[in-house]
Amino acid sequence: MPEFRVLPAGDTALVVEFGDQIDRRLSTWVLALARRLDEARLNGVVETVPTYRSLMVHYDPLVLPADALEAKIVELMRGLHATGETVRHWRLPACYDPQLAPDLDEVAARTSHSPAQVVELHSTTPYYVYMIGFLPGLAYLGDLPAELSLPRRSTPRLKVPAGSVAIATTMTSIYPIDHPGGWHLIGRSPVSLWERQPVVRTLLAPGDKVTFMPVSLREYEELIAKAAAGTLSVEPVEEAVGVAA
């Protein structure tokens, strides 16, 4: 069992904190506890929200007092152990054409690579979904190759188009909607990560695996047309891995 702390977060939430860094192993414990709490169906637990290294547990204090919830969390942690788990592996198309990648040349120059090398490094890396947040459906994907690690832009853009593939520090992501942003834009994906119709849904979830598949500008335009018509379908492949559960 890993070391952890249970901390209050206001009067309707507890935070279960694992370590102090972004680490896949810690993330597996976070997700394992989230699953165990969901399976326990505790009366009074409203929602669990996984982050890089902690799990926020929202609860109703009139139904489940904080001390009782903390005791249950400690009990569930004692039962966690390493076991095999099936994860979803998404292969998402991405176009790295200069027309859709305004920062690709700059990223290449600052990292002492050619644009083609940046694309190869970015697209051949399997990424791990640490958490969903900031924007609806926005997935924080780690771990970006160290050769491509750059701080955020000094001047954020006022509008980043939905679908933009971006990198910053040790992370990469896809903007799910048009939004201001300060990450480096190196491509664009036609796949929608967040939809409101017919029901609200996010494509990716913490613990998923993502690989980007380079497509040409022509292929991207064909795919974006399918997305607009509602006929673009992307399905994950299930893979068995060893994680904490």
pLDDT digits (tens, 9 = 90+) for 44-103: 999 999 998 999 999 999 999 999 999 999 999 987 765 557 789 999 999 999 999 999
Phi-psi region of 225 (alpha: psi -120 to 50; beta: other; left: phi over 0): alpha
pLDDT computed for residue 196 by the predictor? 65
**What is the four-CA torsion angle of 45, 131, 137, 156, rounded to 10 degrees?**
130
CATH architecture of 5-80: 2-Layer Sandwich (3.30)
Give per-residue pLDDT as tens, 223-240: 999 999 989 999 999 886
How do residues 118-170 score in pLDDT, each as one tens digit? Answer: 999 999 999 999 999 888 889 999 999 999 999 999 999 999 999 999 999 99
Task: Please provide the CATH number assigned to the domain covering 86-244.
Answer: 2.40.100.10
Dihedral sign from CA coordinates of 40, 43, 48, 53: negative
Sequence spans of domains, the chain: 5-80, 86-244
What pLDDT, on the 0 to 100 scale, is given for residue 244?
46
Please answer whether residues 167 and 94 qualify as being in contact, where contact means their C-beta atoms are separated by less than 8 angstroms: no
Query: How is residue 37 written in tokens?
Result: 């709490």
